[in-house]
Structure 1
Amino acid sequence: MKEQFNVAWSNLIEKLQGWFNAIIESLPNFILAILVMIVAYYAARYINKFVTKAVGKKVNQPSISKTIGRISAVVVVLAGLFLCLGILDLGKTLTSLLAGAGVVGLAIGLALQGTLANTFAGVILSFRKKIQVGHWIETSGFEGEVMDINLKDFTLKEADNNMVIIPNKTILENPMKNYSLTQKMRIFLECGVGYESDLELVQKLTKEAMADTFDTVDSSDDVEFYYKEFGGSSINFLCRFWVNGEKAIDRLRATNKAIIALKKTFDANDINIPFPIRTLQFDNKLNINQSINQEEGV
């Protein structure tokens, strides 16, 4: 019994000595790995601040710039971790981590496919100069002012003060009209005059009225005027001209102003703007008894 105890004790001592020697031999690599992790940690903090500040100069959304900065910091930390495992000669562990990360990443990507699509779409939209907070846009059947662009969705405030939340993926994949990219917009004004009207005079008065009403129209030559058709009760025409504006409300205000000015001009010159009139004629008396007899075949 004593001999067995001595043998076990000797094996234990030998094992501990082997571990101690291994630790002593690996101590320089272990210290180097710790230094690498410390350097990676502080480098990640610096890169996070630097990337956040650099992205913030081009993106007005703090959430986007902070997220990109954090992603950059995580990449630096992971690079330092993999380097440490290589220094410690833990190649198998490194291979296992990479394989596990690949499997986990694939599973997460499949589970969060829609969310990731909106996230990447949000990043892309944030870097687009043609879409900025404050722009007035029309897309996917909605029209309003851009209030927020984040990693999840796109927020519009419509003219009736209602907020519309649209997924970023939908914004990126569908056509969009941005009224704020240009400083001018064209107004289309349609109207009709009576058949008895002097058409040349109507054209002249309409163009002069628009030129006198809007500062952006230098002269009547800048106003386009076209007769379109002989309507049921009027001869219809189209008038086009340019005004300063960046939002849909500017178009409504200009149209409202143009209609008032045109109506005043036509009234002052006795030009009629007709409206459809339906005349019902009852000149024949209906013989009820005769109709009933005809239906019964009498």
Structure 2
Amino acid sequence: MNQFTIDLWKVLHSYYLGFVKLLPRLALAVVLFLLFLFIARQVRRWLLPKILRNSEDSLLTGFLGDMGYWIVLILGISVALGALGFDGAVTKILAGAGLSAFILGFALKDIGENFLAGILLAFKRPFHIGDLVETQGVKGRIIDMTLRETIIKTLDGKDVFVPNAGILNNPLYNYSVDDFLRLEFSVDLDNREDYKKAIPLIENALKETEGVLHESHQHEAVASVEETKSNALCMKVSFWIKSPEAEKESPTIKSRAIQNVLHALKQHGFSYAPQKAGSGDS
């Protein structure tokens, strides 16, 4: 029993001496880590206003600031471990982190994919906050974006959280890129009517409709024969509007345009079948 106590004391004493010998290095490592932690915070605090001067993108600014912070912090951890004499441990930690990332990459494939997609969208984004977009059957305005998902407020007030990978891998329709939106509807005239006379009447009625654009050749109101039926001549009518508030204005402008076109045709004696309105935003 006495021998066991002596051996235990020797082991504890050796650990104590080793700890005392390590104290200066430990103190230096703590000081170095705290120094790098301070520098990392200052780098992030310094980067944010610098980036904001050249970019109004809050997501990209925050991402770059966090990236600078973590790069400096990881460097500080490596230097602190080196001061403790754990140079080999740094290599093992980095190798272990790479292996862990490889394993977790399979386990959390969807999360990692959305995270990487968020980074790509942050650097080269096909939309901005407030844009009217449509993707994967969801149509609404962008209200926020994180590195994992994009939040879209639909036209009926729902908040939809769309994974970034889905946006990156699927078609995205942005109606706010140039602030123009095309609307369509159709009018069924009697098959015996002269469509050549009806076309200018329809186009003039559209030009006189409030909210319909007609100043530019690229955004002219157009009427054309879409198809003929046994007793009807189907006229396709399309026109352009400004789209900053498309979800509020387009139904009103479209209704006004239909009424004006039907009134003009009726005023000039044209006979038409009950009109078949259809939305064709593009």
Verify: 1:149 aligned to 2:148, yes or no.
no
Instruction: Return the alpha-carbon distance in structure 2 between the equivalents of residues 151 and 134 of structure 1.
Output: 18
Equivalence for 1:234: 232
Deviation digits for residues 128-183 of structure 1, max 9, x if unmatched?
44311211101101111112211332222222222222111111110100001112
Identity %: 21
Instruction: Return the alpha-carbon distance in structure 2 between the equivalents of residues 171 and 242 of structure 1.
Output: 27
TM-score, normalising length from structure 1? 0.73
CA 1:198 to 1:119, structure 2 compared with 1: closer, same or farther past 3 Å? same
Number of matched pairs: 261
Deviation digits for residues 241-298 of structure 1, max 9, x if unmatched?
332224355443332121010111122122111259xxxxxxxxxxxxxxxxxxxxxx
Equivalence for 1:253: 252
Amino acid across the alignment from 2:243: G
Equivalence for 1:122: 118
Verify: 1:197 aligned to 2:193, yes or no.
yes
Higher relative contact order (CA 8 A, sep 6+): 2
Pairing of 1:135-146 with structure 2 (within 5 A): 135-146=131-142
Q: Is the Cα contact below 8 Å between 1:58 and 1:127 reproduced in 2?
A: no
Instruction: Return the alpha-carbon distance in structure 2 between the equivalents of residues 112 and 68 of structure 1.
Output: 24
Task: List runs of 5+ in structure 2 lacking aligned partners.
Answer: 276-282
Measured after TM superposition, the shift of residue 54 of structure 1 is 4.6
Deviates more, 1:70-79 or 1:201-210: 70-79
Q: 1:216 aligns with which of 207, 213, 216?
A: 213
CA 1:45 to 1:275, structure 2 compared with 1: closer, same or farther past 3 Å? closer
Deviates more, 1:169-178 or 1:90-99: 90-99
Measured after TM superposition, the shift of residue 222 of structure 1 is 4.2
CA 1:43 to 1:143, structure 2 compared with 1: closer, same or farther past 3 Å? same
Instruction: Return the alpha-carbon distance in structure 2 between the equivalents of residues 103 and 209 of structure 1.
Output: 69
TM-score, normalising length from structure 2? 0.77
Task: List runs of 5+ in structure 1 lacking aligned partners.
Answer: 277-298
Instruction: Return the alpha-carbon distance in structure 2 between the equivalents of residues 127 and 150 of structure 1.
Output: 13
The RMSD of aligned alpha carbons is: 3.5
Pairing of 1:1-298 with structure 2 (within 5 A): 23=21, 27=24, 33-54=29-50, 57-61=55-59, 65-66=61-62, 68-214=64-210, 216-218=213-215, 222-246=220-244, 247-275=246-274
Measured after TM superposition, the shift of residue 232 of structure 1 is 2.2
